[in-house]
Structure 1
């Protein structure tokens, strides 16, 4: 009992010195119970502690941060007093006071500003660069429309594609910068169709360009594609058989008859519309592609200017009877590739009109790309070596491009070449 009383006496003496009750170091006897005349409530002790700390120049802690002290035992029972649970919060608590943005008072210091995060190594300084400008100008005014002839309107761009057997087809036709600026319709026309099914299917791609002047140019190009498409479709069984059996003479004579008949129909329609027949026909160039993967013969035929080229091993080969200086005068012959017909000669060897019938077959090797195009693309491709090299790089990748990538490459601008462009490419695998 003596030791317990002595411990309580020292404890009460420590509290008296801390709270400034005036007691000395030995103010309590050995058996003293720690009773005092000074108020000894919890609130009084906390207030006294705050006054003592403020006198030393230290920042006062928040009311909830007061230092813990040893629990006092009840003098009668020797057990800690029972804890009282805090009162429950009100049904509708009031919002707490806003937290200050910066501490104030003794010992506080302004917040250190955050350093900006440096850009990663190798990143360009300054704001990110703007998106690259488009390859061509935005379309200008829309072409004038006739309420009674809305079928005369032509969309700015046409895009198509397909895959059969070992070939992948991409086709795009785009209005030229000059026509966009003037609000004229696209004079190039594009037709991609399939006749038959399975191994006996036959693909036809037709590219036509209307005359450079006069009304009805776009209609003339579409009529040329439609008439040759109908003629080939009605003869597709015989043409597909001639392709599989390699009957090239029969193909040449048959396709020339179909082309002549189509042009005869176009001239008759021009007379019905009061147009000069010699100005109405359009340039027309076509590809016949068998869907049979075992038949690798590709047939080109048509009339008028344009381009027929082959991309092999990253280099262009011009398959036309003549070629510009920066391209080979004639592509190396493949087994089974007959020489192109002489300029100005028809299929039967007689003299042809001013625009001779054109015909050529080509044997497709894996990795080849055959390009059929209108004059709007053939001219810069033949006259600008840098443009030809860029297209060769774009289209020599291991896999054929998607539709949008093909269109993007086909419409790359070349100074001084604002015509409509139509391109048909066939990749061989």
Structure 2
């Protein structure tokens, strides 16, 4: 082969290589514009609203998976990202956004890590959570076993209960929290039993209680004495179920001793929400406001010894208060150990503002109660009520 033929061959080979490089770059550019089919067929679901798509960086750039998950904060990032497809623009127009994993609720790392299951009769779950919405009112309820009980394979001694009492007019939401005596190995029986029994006793007394409550709101001076008698009778009628529950298990009344706090909340939407709280023992009710918390039901009113009285041994120690709340306020009914949690700096720094902003999801609320707090390592039990702010959209 002469020199001329060699030069021509080299030029042809160089041209082929250059064409290949240019074609590859052109193909990538066209792929970005979605004008060529993907090398790996994408699974695309078209929707009639803005959605997210996941860009797989280990595959060709055009391979994406569409997922229906709205994004609010939009920023460009130079790393694996998600993109939002704008359905009102060409399909290739996307906005890059950083994908952030949902924040883990404070303390949630402890929720599923008990040391062992307690080997005793009448067991209860490690944690429970419940909730509902009634018009503008949203409620969350949870009870969480404390860290020492988990480490020592002991039962949760506290109970939470929600119920709608339809014999009141309008119906009433009953929020009940009970804390069995920590030193008793079987006091979870009393806490669970008293929350069940109080629903029936309040329903039986509903007509008279309803009338007395309305009279108290209207300013009738005789209504307070009537409420004293009616609520005292309700609490007195809780003694028999507790003592019977103990007797069936060959236990004494002190073995099932528990305190009880009940919050009655009028349902229906109005300018104010009426509440009636009563109980025996150390439970409390606090109203959170933007200008700070306010105690609506003080466990030590009348002396610190009042907060140490328990059922079934001290039914005459019943206390009660009546109060009202307005839109944007948060009502918290809880046990004494949870009161210590709410008064701690970690709650004020990490949770209080979030609660004032609106109700969390159920599992996040459960995580809030599991927040590590050195001053409150026992069981935590709380029921929280949110009154939706005026003009706020349902979430």
TM-score range, shorter chain: 0.5 to 0.7
Q: Is the Cα contact below 8 Å between 1:267 and 1:278 reproduced in 2?
A: no
Alignment correspondent of 1:402: 361
Identify which of 265, 272, 290 aligns with 2:266: 290
- Determine helix, strand or coil for the equivalent of 2:356: coil
Distance change (3 Å), C-alpha of 1:403 and 1:244: farther
Partner of 1:419: 378
Q: 5 Å matches for 1:231-246?
A: 231-245=201-215, 246=217
CA RMSD of aligned residues (A): 3.6
How far off its partner does 1:162 sit?
Answer: 1.7
Name the residue aligned to 2:336: 375
Q: Are 1:177 and 1:419, in contact at CA under 8 Å, matched by a contact in 2?
A: yes
Deviation at 1:271, TM superposition (A): 3.7
For 1:395, what is the secondary structure of its paired residue? helix
Gaps of at least 5 residues in structure 1 are 1-49, 66-118, 324-339, 346-351
Match of 2:317 in 1: 356
Distance 1:423 1:314, change over 3 A: farther
- Whether 1:254 aligns to 2:230 is yes
Q: Does 1:59 align with 2:10?
A: yes
Larger proportion of helix: 2
* Local SS of the residue matching 1:183: coil
Please report the TM-score for the alignment, with normalisation by the length of structure 1.
Answer: 0.59
Which residue of 246, 249, 253 maps to 1:270? Answer: 246
Q: Give the drift of 1:358.
A: 1.9
The alpha carbon displacement at 1:414 in A equals 0.6
Counterpart CA distance in 2 for 1:369 and 1:174 is 20
Map 1:220-231 onto structure 2 (within 5 A).
220-231=190-201
Aligned with 2:294 (options 317, 324, 333): 317
Q: CA deviation at 1:283?
A: 1.1
Are 1:387 and 2:358 counterparts? no
Written as runs of structure 1 = structure 2, the 5 A alignment for 1:7-156 is 53-56=4-7, 59=10, 61=12, 120=78, 135=107, 136-137=109-110, 138-145=112-119, 152-156=122-126
| Structure ID, larger Rg | 1
Aligned length: 294
Alignment partner of 1:200 is 2:170:
yes
Deviation, 1:378, is 0.8
Q: Judge conservation of contact 2:285–2:332 (CA < 8 Å) in 1.
A: yes
Separation in structure 2 between the aligned mates of residue 231 and residue 354 of structure 1, nearest angstrom: 14
Give 1:194 shift. Answer: 0.9
1:372/1:385 CA distance change after superposition, 3 Å: same
**TM-score if structure 2 supplies the norm length?**
0.64
Report the Cα offset of residue 411 of structure 1.
2.1
Segment drifting more, 196-205 vs 284-293: 196-205
Q: Does structure 1 residue 219 correspond to structure 2 residue 192?
A: no
Query: Aligned pair in 2 of structure 1 residues 341, 292: CA closer, same or farther (>3 Å)?
Result: farther
Aligned residue among 162, 172, 177 for 2:142: 172
Q: Is the 8 A contact 1:200 1:240 kept in 2?
A: no
Question: How many angstroms does 1:314 deviate by?
Answer: 4.2
- Equivalent in the alignment of 2:60: none
Paired residues of 1:176 and 1:186 also in contact (CA < 8 A): yes
C-alpha displacement of 1:354: 9.7
Q: Is the 8 A contact 1:163 1:169 kept in 2?
A: yes
**Cα pair 1:188 1:210 within 8 Å, conserved:** yes
Answer 1 or 2: which has greater strand percent. Answer: 2
Structure 2 alignment gaps of length 5 or more:
17-76, 82-99, 218-222, 307-312, 389-395
3-state DSSP of counterpart to 2:156: coil
Instruction: Go from structure 1 to structure 2 and tell me whether the alpha carbon gap of 1:297 and 1:343 turns closer, same or farther (over 3 Å shift).
Output: farther
Measured after TM superposition, the shift of residue 58 of structure 1 is 5.2
Q: 1:208 Cα deviation (Å)?
A: 0.8
SS at match of 2:265: strand
